[in-house]
Amino acid sequence: MKPSRKTKGMAALVMTLSWIAWFSIPAHAGAQHTDVMNAFDVETPVRPMPVRTNGMVQISYEVHLTNFSNEKLEITDVSLVNGSDGDDLASFSGDALVAVAHVVGETAGRKDNTVQVEPGRRVVLFIDLAVPASRHVESIRHRIGYRIPDALATHSFLSEAIAVTSSKPSLIGPPLSGGPWVAIHSPLWARGHRRVFNAVAGHAKIPGRFAIDWVKVDERGRTAKGDPDLATQTFGYGDAVLAVDDAVVVATRDGMDEPAHISQRTTHPLAEDAGNYLVLKLPDGRFAFYEHLKKGSIAVQTGNRVKKGQAMASLGFSGESTGPHLHFHIADSDSPLDAEGLPFEIQSFRQVGRYDDVSRLGNPWTPSGPGDPMTRHDEWPGASTVVSFGTVTR
């Protein structure tokens, strides 16, 4: 059947309108898609974990950004957005961004204040967000700003919300007695526990995410009572390490030698990093690690039940250690390497001071001010704080 004149007329009209519509599109309309480009895949392998510290709540986690484009990309800024109300919780750019970012595989520090990621490479953002205890944060989104280096155009996207875990930190007694003890840890050290991944069983994990290295000092801040190069002369060497709760011993290792002099320390294979150690399974199903223990001092065996406050071994200088101290952390499995570090809070301790710069360890610390509460309850000791432990509460 031949098309009618009416049908031909309608077809001509449609074609005419189509051409009119085509030529009526503004020149910039075709450019509206240029903001869409391959960029970063965003992963948060471990949900954000809150812990009380210094009168605040610290939320710690990592954001992994993998460059899936064919271009080198520069991250310009990152904002943390409260999933509950849309308010910005924190933002990072310039030096602040560089301080929390690490491109996997880079060993040298960055020479400028940029975070540039080659195609196929991954950068990890180490987030330690402090918020008032009254602030309601159930989930966090991430606004990532980026560009091709030296280009004028910038781009950004808002990632999906990541739920903050509702699991409570382990509430424990002290792992040591007396003091003063310096809580050595920092989120900014490139090789500090907070940033050391172990990928030994198919997944990259951070066992020491909330680890503390406990170093004993005297009232003048000194670390040794005699020759500071002799391990046995350091304060704390040989002190009893205590069970932080009623628990079961699930792993021990003893017999690793210790150098007599701190200057004689050597590097160790990854499997020997912890030195002599023991692991407790706590009532909440998590695992407490005590590392770098004195050779021959472990007085408990696998399967033993211990009571809170019970002496189990002695502080020593075994394994990958810069000096005698107790490395303590809590994790989700009994493996020293294949585990995710979890937060803990100590039921009671006295915060007598702090080091504003931990490189001054061995010198006097800054005493707590009159407005600072000396006795702390149910907190994770803050970085470089100086604390003492009293009687263990059973």
**Over the stretch 160-179, which tens digit does the pLDDT of each residue have?**
999 999 999 999 999 999 99
pLDDT of the residue at 112: 73
Contact 172, 237 (CB under 8 A): no
What's the mean pLDDT when you consider all of the chain?
89
Domain with CATH 2.70.70.10 in the chain: 170-389
pLDDT of the residue at 26: 38
Contact 246, 212 (CB under 8 A): no
Helix/strand/coil (H, E, C) string of 51-110? Answer: EEECCEEEEEEEEEEEECCCCCEEEEEEEEEECCCCCEEEEEEHHHHHHHEEECCCCCCC
pLDDT of the residue at 27: 36
Return d(Cα 65, Cα 43) in angstroms, integer: 7
Q: How many CB atoms lie within 10 A of CB 181?
A: 29
Q: What is the DSSP string of 1-46?
A: -PPPHHHHHHHHHHHHHHHHHHHHS-TTGGGGGGG----EEEE-SS
pLDDT of the residue at 152: 84
180 prior amide bond cis, ω within 30:
yes
pLDDT of the residue at 391: 55
Q: How is the chain split among helix, strand and coil, in percent rounded to 5?
A: 10, 40, 50
If you ran DSSP here, which 8-state letter would residue 363 be given?
B
- Give the closest residue to 140 by CA, choosing from 86, 64, 194, 210: 86
- Give the closest residue to 194 by CA, choosing from 49, 15, 323: 49
Q: Span 40-163: which CATH code?
A: 2.60.40
HSE, CB side, 13 Å, CA atoms: give it for residue 293. Answer: 27
Q: How many CB atoms lie within 10 A of CB 48?
A: 20
β-bridge mates for residue 247, sequence order: 306
Name the amino acid, one letter, at 192. G
In the chain, which residues have pLDDT < 70?
Answer: 1-36, 108-111, 391-394
The pTM for the full model equals 0.87
pLDDT of the residue at 6: 41
Domain with CATH 2.60.40 in the chain: 40-163
Superfamily of domain 170-389: Glucose Permease (Domain IIA) (2.70.70.10)
Look up residue 88 and give its two tokens.
């910005």
Name the pairing type of β-strands 155-158 and 162-163.
unpaired
Look up residue 368 and give its two tokens.
């707590």
Look up residue 33 and give its two tokens.
């898609």
pLDDT of the residue at 394: 37
